[in-house]
Amino acid sequence: MKHRLKQLILAASLAVPALSFANTAFVPPVPEIAGTAYFLLDAQSGQPIATRDADTRIEPASLTKLMTAYLTFKALKEKRLTLEQALSVSPKGWKTEGSRMFLDPKVPTRVDDLIKGMIVQSGNDACVTLAEAIAGSEEVFAQLMTREAKRLGMNHTRFMNSTGLPDANHYTTVRDLSTLASSIVRDFPEFYPIYSLKSFTYNGITQPNRNLLLYRDPFVDGMKTGFTDSAGYNLIASSHRDGRRVVSVVVGTASPEARAVESSKLLNYGLQFFDTPKLYAAAKPVSEVPVYKGDAAKLPIGFNQDVFTTVSKGQAGRLKAELTTQQPVIAPIKAGQQVGTLKVSLDGKPVLERPVVALQSVGEGGFFGRLWDSLKLLLGM
């Protein structure tokens, strides 16, 4: 028997909050950005707000260290490292060129200090030390970096080292970097505050965070700078204001000042002229569907995560949602299993699509119940 599709229109259930600038639908053009490429991401909805050359291959320079940090945080979460663990820098790590936290080969350094040295001081020696502790060698660690990038959906990225030192086969895109930055915020909130530290002192040497926006904008709380002669001056910045978070990636600017100014333009554009209404709450039923051959007749359905969307200010009230579920739904069903799709549109144009999942499991029913439901399906009852 062919499955038939059942569509339910749920526009009335959109819980759009009262928004500021409710009568303002005007959105000016994206400001001119003096860089080779940029990407502005709404971190809550996952939707881009403004981009240029989003998928063009770029040299990430020290923005690479976001992935080094991601894998370090993951190792800590999985208890393969501890913050109190002391590591010694290898000859390779100690000799690595570029920025450093000035590790002493004779003095082991705690992992929590290595993390701060990597993030705040952009220490290449710290990166190599962490990479070797996690993977045995920096070369193997780079392979793990690329594999993790693919898992996160960074499909145009390849890493050759943990530091971002130039290599012809070491590349990414501004879109992929925005994915990585927002993943750190989402997956490791306990470590993210390190990105807001304005300075860090190690081995008697105090180095400032090179992200100038931390000193200028009270809403900016991260993330990372990068520079090489070939890449120019790069900056990933994250701003949290009025319950919203936006992430900007700007690469190829001419100076530390320029990367800060251009990033500020993007962040303010996204925060001033767009909103991120919450449409549905995680784990809260939005509908029920009938279940056949199960130990329950109805299945509550909804979302694993809160559902947000990004719209220009004043347009949230015009959103429409359509929920499509595939019928018949036949037990057994596992909690979290996709059973439908939510599509959100604005004035007939699609803006968002999310999977709809079972919010609870439904096991197989008894013999006679399954037999009766088979008869109903056969007769189309």
Q: Is 65 a catalytic residue?
A: yes
- The verdict on residue 192 lying in a domain is yes
Q: Quick one: 110 and 205 in the same domain?
A: yes
Joined together, the tokens standing for residue 27 give 């959105």
User: Could you give the angle at the alpha carbon of 299 between the alpha carbons of 294 and 300, nearest 5°?
Assistant: 160
Q: Which CATH number do you get for residue 227? A: 3.40.710.10
pLDDT of residue 186: 97
Q: Quick one: 103 and 225 in the same domain?
A: yes
- The verdict on residue 341 lying in a domain is yes
Q: Give the C-alpha separation, 147 to 280, whole Å.
A: 32
Total number of domains in the chain:
2
Q: Which three-class secondary structure state does DSSP give residue 191?
A: coil
Q: Quick one: 64 and 196 in the same domain?
A: yes
Q: Quick one: 270 and 143 in the same domain?
A: yes
Q: Quick one: 329 and 347 in the same domain?
A: yes
Q: Choose the final residue of a domain: 247, 274, 301.
A: 274
Q: Is 264 a catalytic residue?
A: no
- The verdict on residue 349 lying in a domain is yes
Omega cis (within 30) before 328 = yes
Q: Give the C-alpha separation, 116 to 121, whole Å.
A: 7
Q: Quick one: 256 and 209 in the same domain?
A: yes
Q: Which CATH number do you get for residue 289? A: 2.60.410.10
Name the burial class of residue 333, with classes exposed (0-12), middle (13-18) and buried (19+) by CB atoms within 10 angstroms of its CB. buried
pTM over 0.85: yes
Q: Is 13 a catalytic residue?
A: no
Q: Quick one: 140 and 255 in the same domain?
A: yes
- The verdict on residue 20 lying in a domain is no
- The verdict on residue 118 lying in a domain is yes
Q: Quick one: 239 and 110 in the same domain?
A: yes
pLDDT of residue 199: 98
- The verdict on residue 256 lying in a domain is yes
| Residues 6+ positions from 87 with CB-CB distance below 8 Å | 108, 109, 110, 111, 114, 129, 130, 133
Q: Give the C-alpha separation, 102 to 100, whole Å.
A: 5
- The verdict on residue 8 lying in a domain is no
pLDDT of residue 265: 98
* Nearest residue to 248 (alpha-carbon basis) of 60, 59, 51, 64: 51
Q: Choose the final residue of a domain: 222, 246, 274.
A: 274
Q: Along the 381 residues of the chain, how does pLDDT read in single tens digits?
A: 333 334 443 333 333 333 333 445 678 999 999 999 999 999 999 999 999 999 999 999 999 999 999 999 999 999 999 999 999 999 999 999 999 999 999 999 999 999 999 999 999 999 999 999 999 999 999 999 999 999 999 999 999 999 999 999 999 999 999 999 999 999 999 999 999 999 999 999 999 999 999 999 999 999 999 999 999 999 999 999 999 999 999 999 999 999 999 999 999 999 999 999 999 999 999 999 988 877 888 999 999 999 999 999 988 888 999 988 878 888 899 999 999 999 999 988 999 999 999 999 988 767 765 666 577 667 765
Which residue segment(s) compose the domain that 297 sits in? 278-379
Q: Quick one: 43 and 153 in the same domain?
A: yes
| Residues 6+ positions from 94 with CB-CB distance below 8 Å | 103, 105, 125
**Could you tell me which residues are annotated as the binding site for substrate?**
224
Q: Give the C-alpha separation, 322 to 161, whole Å.
A: 45
Q: Which three-class secondary structure state does DSSP give residue 339?
A: strand
Q: Choose the final residue of a domain: 274, 300, 334.
A: 274
pLDDT of residue 8: 40
- The verdict on residue 16 lying in a domain is no
- Annotated catalytic residue within 65, 265, 293, 313: 65
Q: Are strands 4-9 and 319-327 parallel, antiparallel or unpaired?
A: antiparallel
pLDDT of residue 366: 74
Token look-up 């990004």 returns 310
- Annotated catalytic residue within 45, 90, 122, 183: 122
Q: Quick one: 215 and 105 in the same domain?
A: yes
pLDDT of residue 162: 98
**Could you tell me which residues are annotated as the binding site?**
224
Q: Quick one: 325 and 262 in the same domain?
A: no
Q: Quick one: 286 and 188 in the same domain?
A: no
